Structure 1
Amino acid sequence: MRPCEGVMVTPRGGGEVGVLVLSGSSGRVETERSRLLARQGAVALSIRWFGGPGQPRGICEIPLETFGDAVDRLLETGVRRVGIVGVSKGAEAALLVATLDSRVNAVVALSPTSLVWANVGPGVDGRVHPYRSSWTWRGEPVPFVPYDDTWAPAEPEGSPVAYRTLYERSRTSFAEAARAAAIPVERVTGDLLFVAGADDRMWPSLSYAEELAARRAAAGRPARVVSHPEAGHRPRLPGESPAPVSPHRLYGGSPAADAALGAAAWPYILRTLQLTP
């Protein structure tokens, strides 16, 4: 498989915990978040998993093996434990990988989804339609929920768009597909932490997080949900820069509330990853 662009940040003297840091649909390499985790003792790796050389331009049929290769890279450094910190679509990937790869010891899912969704942007063929899965495993598409094309934004044309109702409507419109696309967190052997804001306007991440935690608890493997009533889709961890304002999307929340959610979650993140003494 073609090597991915990325950055690995290693604490002085090395570390025993490796963390794969995944962005959402921005596609960026999460350098700042990786450095933050490295200061806590993690060997932190962030990769470009779409939009780079030889990769689809969008989140469309991304091989989940891409993330397994990144786990290999972390293990090659000699770490004893591997965690994944993912936000939004990166959280979707992180949870799926953890259902398939027992080497993943922990997942911190920021603004997660409980379902696998259709592609966001074009695949390697440059096409957005027909809808395809965001992910593949061993060459086969992972079951997914398509989008309801009868949905239209509530915002005036040219204004930033809140997509939350698109995801809510699509789940209802394609209920059978949604049942098949549920992420089977019951299979995850590692530790899970969900972090979500109630004012998320991208998708209903708090409802998804609570659903994931309930299914996890029913399987006898409890997971914690950390939330904030006024935070949106982009929680900011202590020491991180505020997220830029998007001209295209409404994420909800506010800089203060998003930072408050990150601060509340931070001790649990460190504990889940085993970065605390």
Structure 2
Amino acid sequence: MPDRTSRVQRVPTSADRFDAHPAEPNGTGVLLLAGSSGRVEIGRARLLAAEGARVRTMRWFGGEGQRPAPHEVPLELFIEQITLLRGSCDRVVIFGTSFGAEAALTVAPLCPVDAVIAVAPTAVVWAGAHDGALSSHWTLAGDPLPYTPFDHNWTPDADPPAFRSLYSSSMQRFPESAAAARIPVEKITGDVLLIAGGDDQVWPSTRFAQQIISARERTGLRSTLVSHPDAGHRLLLPGEQPAAGGTRMARGGTPKADAELGERAWPEILRILDRRSA
């Protein structure tokens, strides 16, 4: 069997990462992860750095020496970056969107962080596809994590496709796989901030957020949810403009509603970034 761990590129090349350093550091380091767009979130990194955080944003697939798609991506890639941030920061936060939120929530039980910020989160690990092969989004020590497969009977009913019903029907069709793929969020010892739009057409992120909250509440752990009924899959923080690119799909929301969600979430994000309020 090939050694999948050899796929890990421990430090992304300069083309696949961006570091934002604050003028007045507050002691918080942030690992910032995009979703299926695969982008390096330079603008958002600068926005967070303006509030005192030292931010590394990185490409985690499609870069030099990396997996070509969100398919069997080694979690060690993120663990290594968290460890590096821990060496220079008092606190470490992992901030992810969509598939990046899945990565953040999946890594946090394995490599303790002080907080997780998950935008458009999922409560389970999902399948990824590459060259016709279906497997987990993630591996650990070379082994794929349990994942929820896709309902092969699903077909899109709109153009561009809205995948929300695919993710819902897949969980209904494969309940045992979904249960095995549940992310153990109750093992996250740090703060958890969930941000979700009620009109998310990619997947049911508000429902996933409630499942995460319930799982943590059963073990006495609190989480914070910020939502907006008309916002979609993408978040617009104060000063951000709507993003382009990524996989062609319906994402829901409107620029106005996505920005209103960002305005609601921003005070909670600042609370997590500020070590004095932790």
Whether TM-score is above 0.5 comes out as yes
Where 2:56 maps in the other structure, the secondary structure is strand
Question: Which amino acid letter does the alignment assign opposite residue 258 of structure 1?
Answer: D
How many angstroms does 1:245 deviate by?
A: 7.3
**Alpha-carbon contact 2:127-2:147 (below 8 Å) kept:** yes
**Alpha-carbon contact 1:116-1:182 (below 8 Å) kept:** yes
**Alpha-carbon contact 2:117-2:193 (below 8 Å) kept:** yes
Of 105, 114, 118, 1:109 maps to 118
**TM-score (normalised: structure 1):** 0.92
CA distance in 2 between counterparts of 1:275 and 1:128 reads 45
- Check 1:42–1:257 CA distance in 2 against 1; reply closer, same or farther (3 A cut): same
- Check 1:247–1:64 CA distance in 2 against 1; reply closer, same or farther (3 A cut): closer
Match of residue 128 from structure 1: 132
Does residue 149 of structure 2 align to residue 141 of structure 1?
Answer: no
Match of residue 6 from structure 1: 17
Of 139, 149, 154, 1:151 maps to 154
How many angstroms does 1:174 deviate by?
A: 0.6
**Alpha-carbon contact 1:11-1:39 (below 8 Å) kept:** yes
Match of residue 237 from structure 2: 237
Match of residue 179 from structure 1: 179
How many angstroms does 1:276 deviate by?
A: 6.6
C-alpha offsets along residues 54-78 of structure 1, whole Å, 9 cap, x if unaligned? 21211000000100111122223x2
- Check 1:225–1:79 CA distance in 2 against 1; reply closer, same or farther (3 A cut): same
- Where structure 1 has 5 or more consecutive residues not aligned to the other structure, the ranges are none
- Check 1:90–1:200 CA distance in 2 against 1; reply closer, same or farther (3 A cut): same
How many angstroms does 1:230 deviate by?
A: 0.2
**Alpha-carbon contact 2:230-2:257 (below 8 Å) kept:** yes
**Alpha-carbon contact 1:41-1:275 (below 8 Å) kept:** no
CA distance in 2 between counterparts of 1:43 and 1:82 reads 9
Match of residue 220 from structure 2: 220
Question: Which amino acid letter does the alignment assign opposite residue 86 of structure 1?
Answer: G
Question: Which amino acid letter does the alignment assign opposite residue 12 of structure 1?
Answer: A
CA distance in 2 between counterparts of 1:246 and 1:253 reads 16
CA distance in 2 between counterparts of 1:225 and 1:173 reads 28
**Alpha-carbon contact 1:197-1:231 (below 8 Å) kept:** yes
CA distance in 1 between counterparts of 2:241 and 2:84 reads 28
Of 95, 98, 101, 1:91 maps to 101
Does residue 101 of structure 2 align to residue 100 of structure 1?
Answer: no
C-alpha offsets along residues 191-246 of structure 1, whole Å, 9 cap, x if unaligned? 00100000000000000001101111111001011100100000111111122377
**TM-score (normalised: structure 2):** 0.92
Q: Over aligned residue pairs, what C-alpha RMSD do you find?
A: 1.5
**Alpha-carbon contact 1:270-1:276 (below 8 Å) kept:** no
User: Post-superposition, which runs of at least 4 consecutive aligned residues in structure 1 deviate over 6 A?
Assistant: none
Once the two structures are overlaid, the 10-residue window that deviates more, 243-252 or 259-268, is 243-252
- Size of the aligned set, in residue pairs, is 266
Question: Which amino acid letter does the alignment assign opposite residue 132 of structure 2?
Answer: V
Match of residue 86 from structure 2: 75
